[in-house]
Structures are given as C-alpha cells and as structure tokens.
Amino acid sequence: MSITLFLLVIMLNTSVCIDITYHVKEGQNPNTLVGNIASDAHLYNSFNAEDLNRITFSRLHESLSGNAPMFKVGKNGMMYTSQTLDAESLCKYNTECFKIVEVAVRHKESFVKVIEVKVIIDDVNDHQPEFISKDVYIQFYETDSSGTTKSIPNAIDNDVGFLNSQITYQLKKDINDPFTLSVIKKIDGTRKLRIVLEKKLDREINSTYTLQVIAKDGGSPSHQGILTIHVSVTDENDNQPVFSKNVYNVSINNRQDIYTPIVTVYATDLDSGENGKVSYYFSSKTSDFAKTLFYLNETSGKIFLARNFPSIKRKTFKLFIDAIDKGSPPLSSTAMVLVNIINRENNAPILDVKFVSEPIGNITTISEGVKTNSFIAYVKVSDNDVNQNGEVVCDLNHDKLQLQKLGRKKYKVVLKNPVDRESESYIDFMISCQDKGSPPLRTERKFNIQVTDVNDVQPQFTKNTFKFLTYENEEPNFPVGFINATDEDLGLGKRLTFSLQNSNDASLPFKITDNGFISTTQSLDRERQDIYKFQVWVRDNGIPSLSNKANVIVEVMDENDNAPHFIFPSVNPFSLDVYYHPNSRNNISVLKVADRDSPRNAFFKYEIVKGNEKRLFTIDSYTGVLSFSRTVYQNDAGLYKLQCAVRDSGTPVLTATTNLSLTLIVSNKTLKMMKDKHILLDDRIHVNLVILITLASVIVSVVVVVSITACIVRCHKRNALHMTAVDTSNRSFREKRHLISQTNNSAVITGNSDEMRNRNIQLMRSRSQLFTEEELQYDWKTSTITRKLPTPTQDRKNLESTDLFDILAA
C-alpha cells in the first residue's frame, strides 16, 4: 500500500494541476458552503478507504498579508466563505468576477499536491441604472427639420454581471410630442442616446416639452432609473465631435519616456463657437488602474505615461476616450486606444510565498511536532521578462528546510530535519530566485517562522531525592519543604500538578500544592514514626500529559514530650532488704529508666532526693547504680525511705521519681558505733585525700631524684642489704594491715544461714592465703599477747597513717 501511495504522489506531482471552478453569489453570509474539494477533485478515486481518512486539505496563506481571507478550507476539503462578498468592490469593470484559491493536499504529513480552485463570484442585481443627473435641458430650433437629433447622457449600472449591467432604454412622452429616442451602441459597450425630432416645431404653439427616458437593467428583479428631459424650442448645438479613428492602436516599450506622448487622439466638431470646442476625457469604462498609468491632456488629446511602468503581467491596456464639445447640451463621441506593452527590460523575479499553517497575526508558525518531509509553504515565481530574462532558478539554504521543484516557476518548501522549540524557537530562512538574464537579477525574501510548542518534554526534578526535616507536635498545615520541578514546554505543557504517593498505599500525613509546597495534614508524633519515605509525582497539563517522579524523605525531629519512667523498680514504692557484711561489695542495686524520646533528649541523670540524711547511700549520676557512700556501722541498720529522681536532657527538662523502702540489716562483725563527728570526718576525708595525693606526688619526685643519687654514691652491697631488710618489714606490715581492712568490706543482699557460713569459710581461706604458716603460728598460737581489733577511732587513724606510708613507700 505504501508503494502504491508513493507512485500516486509522484503521478499527481508530475501531472497538470486540477482546476476546480465554483460559483458563489455575492452578499451571502459568512460560512456559506462553496464546494467539496475532496470530492470534486476526484481524489477519493485515487485512495483506498483506509487512506481517505488520512487525507487533509488546507488553504495556503499569503505570507505577512494583512488582508482578511475571503475563503476557508477545512481539513476534510469543504470550502466556505469567511466574509460577505461584494462583486462590485472586488471586481470592478470585470465581466467575470473570480478569485483563485490555492489548496494544499497532504497524506498524513506528506505533501501530495496543490489544487488551484477558481471561485466565480456571481453578481446579484443590487444596483439600479443611474444617470449622471436626474434632469437634462436641451434645445431645438424652429428651423430644425425632421430627423434632427440631440444627445443626452446614458445611464450607468455598477453591477458587474452581464445581464445585471445590460441596460435598455424607453422614451415616455405625450402622444402628440414629436420626439423619438435613438439608442446606438458605442465601442466601449455603452449606449449613446439621442432625442430625434420627427417634424418641425412651432414655438408659438408650444415652446417647451417634458420627456422621460426610463433605463432598465436585465437583472431579476429588474431595476430602473429615470432621466427627465426638458426640451425648449430655440437655436441649438447640432453637430457632435467626430474622432479621426474609432480605434487607436499603439505599441510602446516599458522604458517609454514619461514626457513623450505615446499617442494623440483627435476629434473635430463642425459647429462654430463654443459648440465646436472639444475636450477629451477618460470614459467611465476605463479601469482605475489604467488611469493611474496614463495621463490624458484634456485640451490636446495627448496621452502620456503617468509614471514609470511597473513590471506586471498585463501586456495590453484598453483606454476609452470621450470627446465632448462645449455646446448646451454637450455632444460627445467615444474612441478606444489599445496600448501594447513591449517588455525590453530585465526585471528581477517576483516571489509569491504562501504557507500551509494559518498565521497568528503577522507571524507564520510551524509546530515542532511536524514530521520530516512535511509540506510547509507553496512558492510561485513570476518574471514577465522575455527569453532568458524570464527564466528563473530558486534555492533555499537551511539546515531545517528544503526547496523542491513542483513545475515551471513553482516550488514547495518541506521540512528537511526535525525542529525542537526548546532549542530553537524561531526559524529564519531566505528564498533566493535569480533569472538567467544578462546581467542576472536576483530577488531574495527573508522569512521568520515561529516554532509552536508540542508537549514533548517530560517534567524534571532538580534532584532525585528530596530530604526534609520537620518537627513533631506541630499544628496541621505546618510547612515541610518545597519540591522544585521544571518543564521547558509552553502553555499547558509548562503548567505542573504535583501529587504524593506512598509505596505501601498507606495514608500520608502530608499534602502538596500545585506549586510543589509540602505541608502536614495532622500533628506528627516522632515516637510513633520518625521517618517517612514516599514518592512525589509531577505531571504537566499538556496533551498527552507527561509525568515524572522523585523520592521524598521526611525526618521528624524529636521534641522532649515524653518524661522518663522507671522500668526497675517497676512498682512504686518498692521494698528492698539489704544485708550488709564487711565482705560485701558496696553496690546495692541498679535503677533502670526508659524514655521514648530520641537519645538527644534521653540522656539521664540520677539523684537521691529524700531519705538520705545519714549520707549512707549514693547513686551514680549516669549509670543509676545505688551503693553505699561510706563505711557501714551497726547503728546504721534500720529502714530507709529513699526517693530517687531521674531527669532527661531535653528542653524543657522532664523528670520522674520512685520511692525505695530499703531495710538495712548489718552483720555483727561490723563496727559497732559511729558518732556525729565521724560523719563530719567522712566529709573531710575526700579533701584530705586530695591534699595527700598532691603532697605525695611532690615527695615521690624528690625521693626518685635522691634515690638515683644515693645509688651512685653507696656501694652495691650495702644498698642490697638495706633494701632486703626494708622489703621484709614492709611486706609483713602490709599483710597485717590488709587483714584488718578485710573486716570492713562492703554490704551484700540478705541471705540464709548456710550462705553466710559459706562466706565466712571463704573469708578465712582468703586470710590464710595472706600469711605464711610460720607467721600464723607466731601470731596466733605462740604469742602471749592478746590481739583484738582496734576501736573505730584508732582504726581510722591507723588507716590514714598507713595510707600515707604506703604512698611514700611506693
């Protein structure tokens, strides 16, 4: 089928253009049907049923023409009028009024041919014959014999149709009036009217007569005009001017000097005086265009060129000349001058370019969706020069457009390469035509075509993933962020619409405007969901609509809106029994807290608020470990109601409290009493310890320097003996002190009697490992000195001195 279509297109392009003739009456309303070009051009016989729907028609438009078109052609080939037509204004002085409309035929986007349609505008009889004046005065002499004539003006009908402008005359008179009407056809097609005297007049009987000449046209219905003739009996002008020739034939070249007459017409009048003086005028049948080209001297009858002769197709002009005398009434005669133009110039070609697309204002447009080889414009070249001067060759140099020959002096402009409005919104090109004269003359015309937009560009996001931060607990419509997308198309193709879509089809607490602004639809809770991942879609409003998508990640920022809560102890108040033994560790329990807020707001700090008047307990500010803060004595046993608090790190700070009912049971092996001053001393231990550490650091530095110096001076043997004695004495002393300190160890959680017995056995075993067998026998079996634990006061003093000694020894 495609091969058949290709051959058909070649055949149509190489054949003579099909001429279609239509008739339309003037005065019809716009949108009056003129004809069906597709049917009357017999194109339906050349295509099968499937291809018929792909055949389109379009009227070719004048490039940059400011005139409103008289006809319009639909894509289906139906031609209509686009305005009310007036034959008299369009085709004055023409016997046939017509216009040529050029119609392009395309199959899809491929050019098929150009059809020239001739539309004849049929004249309607809408004008009546009119005389130059309604009354005419003529005179007859008493001496005039029968057959004497007097000229009267003829009527003019402005209709252009043959019948509508054909005038017949009738004389209306009294039955006894001695006059008749003579009608003679003149060379310009009009009629010459004369009143003919039938017999001599007697002025004494009747000195005046009134006649009427009725002029009727041949239209349907017929219209008429009336001329009233007032006749007086007196002396009169009785001879009309007579031309030397009825037809003057003259030939001139288009370089004729405007100051040299091309011809002189001459008429004589046998009357004397004013009745014999003749003047020359262009007849009403001479076209207005001809009157602009030629000048007639009214007195001499010489005809000149009025201006330099234009390069036009027309080669012959008809000039109708009236010779009128000065009589009353004036008499006239008409002659015709045929002026033949011989073209001896080499004129540049004239370009006539008509585009397929209808212009917007004065701008010619082309859609960027037009396919290659599509028909863009129809080019006709005219050059009225003869021989080689009239042979023309045209070309078009452009990367998008191409000029293809259709026939002699006819071309078509087709699209060579696709156009893209986003990269090139206007196409500037020039058609150049040059004749083969000597020297060759060239005509160049520049054109500017605006490329109209087609929705062919997909909307683009500025990034593939948009990340936003927002806050929880805000009111609905709280702003989240802005999605930026662009589309290089125009009009509806540039107007974007946004929408949100969740991957799991769950509802989103967000909305988006057509401007790409995302906001919340409800208050967000970070503890419920801290990150939202979804997609944003954007589509344009072009036809067809194009879309794109991007990823959106919204992270909900935490606010400190959840107070911490204790997960241990899980009840409030919580009862806890603690059995303290000197060998027990200081740690009692660990408080555990949870917070639904983010770690930034869930950094906890613990403290004991109430119930620690004896300062027996302490809690680690960051780990929540509850432990003894000092040495436990027997009088510390009892019930303690501690209130512990925890606060988070958010803003504002939120807290939680819990109550511990702690029952402390103290082993009998602990120290018995502690006075208030010891409690105060405990507070100073920490300060003294800092002072001792600082002092010890200085002493150690001095001892190190002194020791190094002493090692150089003293002999090796003496130093060895001295160090051995000191080492033996120090080790014995430290081991004894260690035994004493083991009796003051930390507390343990209360247990049964078997567990306590096992712990005592382990304690004894640990003590036996601290001393050798000889020392145990010496201290406990052979010694006669009774050993007992020191009092608390003595113990603390010994500890302080021992600690200082150990530091110095180290």
Residue at 43 is within a domain = yes
- Same-domain check for residues 298 and 207: no
Average pLDDT rounded to a whole number, residues 634-662? 88
- Same-domain check for residues 327 and 247: yes
Q: What is the pLDDT of residue 559?
A: 80
DSSP state of 778: I
Residue at 181 is within a domain = yes
- Choice between 720 and 479, residue whose per-residue pLDDT is larger: 479
Whole-model pTM: value is 0.47
Residue at 785 is within a domain = no
Residue at 746 is within a domain = no
Run of H or E residues at 754: helix 753-768
- Range with the poorest average pLDDT among 227-231, 337-341, 385-389: 385-389
- d(Cα 113, Cα 685) in Å, to the nearest integer? 115
- Range with the poorest average pLDDT among 177-186, 200-209, 569-578, 760-769: 760-769
- Same-domain check for residues 77 and 174: no
- Same-domain check for residues 535 and 506: yes
Residue at 769 is within a domain = no
- Same-domain check for residues 255 and 320: yes
Among residues 234, 266, 301, the one where a domain terminates is 234
CA separation, residue 58 to residues 219, 338, 352, 374 (Å):
36, 41, 17, 13
The total number of residues shown for the chain amounts to 810
- Same-domain check for residues 535 and 594: no
Q: Report how many helices (DSSP H) and strands (DSSP E) the chain contains, helices first.
A: 11, 51
Residue among 384, 228, 361, 369 at smallest CA distance from 314: 384
Q: What is the dihedral of CA 497, 500, 501, 502, to 10 degrees?
A: 170
Average pLDDT rounded to a whole number, residues 442-460? 87
Residues of the chain with pLDDT > 70, as a percent, come to: 79
Is residue 387's pLDDT more than 60? yes
- Same-domain check for residues 230 and 137: yes
Is residue 107's pLDDT more than 90? no
The 10s digit of each residue's pLDDT in 319-364 is: 999 999 887 778 889 999 999 887 666 778 888 888 887 777 667 8
pLDDT confidence of 93, banded at 50, 70, 90?
Answer: low
Residue at 412 is within a domain = yes
The 10s digit of each residue's pLDDT in 158-173 is: 777 777 778 899 999 8
Strand partners, 381: 351
Q: What is the pLDDT of residue 345?
A: 66
Contacts of 340 (CB under 8 A, 6+ apart): 249, 250, 251, 252, 315, 316
Rg for the chain, CA atoms, rounded: 63
- d(Cα 422, Cα 494) in Å, to the nearest integer? 12
The 10s digit of each residue's pLDDT in 261-300 is: 999 999 998 877 777 889 999 998 888 888 888 999 999 9
- Choice between 662 and 345, residue whose per-residue pLDDT is larger: 662
- Same-domain check for residues 219 and 287: no
Residue among 300, 263, 259, 257 at smallest CA distance from 278: 300
Residue among 628, 634, 806 at smallest CA distance from 730: 806
Average pLDDT rounded to a whole number, residues 498-508? 82
Structural domain of 389: 350-452
- Same-domain check for residues 265 and 334: yes
Residue type, 441: L
Q: What is the pLDDT of residue 302?
A: 94
- Same-domain check for residues 331 and 403: no
- Same-domain check for residues 378 and 424: yes
Q: What is the pLDDT of residue 741?
A: 38
Q: What is the pLDDT of residue 587?
A: 87
Q: What is the pLDDT of residue 770?
A: 36
CATH number of the domain that residue 292 is part of: 2.60.40.60
Residue at 260 is within a domain = yes
CB atoms within 10 A of CB 129: 25
The 10s digit of each residue's pLDDT in 676-724 is: 444 444 444 555 676 778 888 888 888 888 888 887 877 665 555 445 4
Average pLDDT rounded to a whole number, residues 496-509? 84
Q: What is the pLDDT of residue 63?
A: 60
Is residue 554's pLDDT more than 90? yes
Domain count, the chain: 6
pLDDT confidence of 236, banded at 50, 70, 90?
Answer: low
Residue at 524 is within a domain = yes
Residues of the chain with pLDDT > 90, as a percent, come to: 21
Contacts of 206 (CB under 8 A, 6+ apart): 233
Cis, peptide link before residue 310, omega less than 30° from 0? no
Strands of the sheet with 442-452, listed across from one edge: 364-367, 442-452, 426-435, 392-396
Among residues 513, 539, 557, the one where a domain terminates is 557
Average pLDDT rounded to a whole number, residues 112-119? 86
CA angle (116 as vertex; 111, 121 as ends), nearest 5: 145
- Range with the poorest average pLDDT among 374-383, 387-396, 749-758: 749-758
CB atoms within 10 A of CB 684: 9
Q: What is the pLDDT of residue 296?
A: 94
The residue written with tokens 């041919």 in the block is 113
- Same-domain check for residues 512 and 572: no
Is residue 43's pLDDT more than 80? no
Among residues 312, 342, 372, the one where a domain terminates is 342
The residue written with tokens 């009785």 in the block is 238
Q: Tokens for 101?
A: 């409309």
Q: What is the pLDDT of residue 653?
A: 86
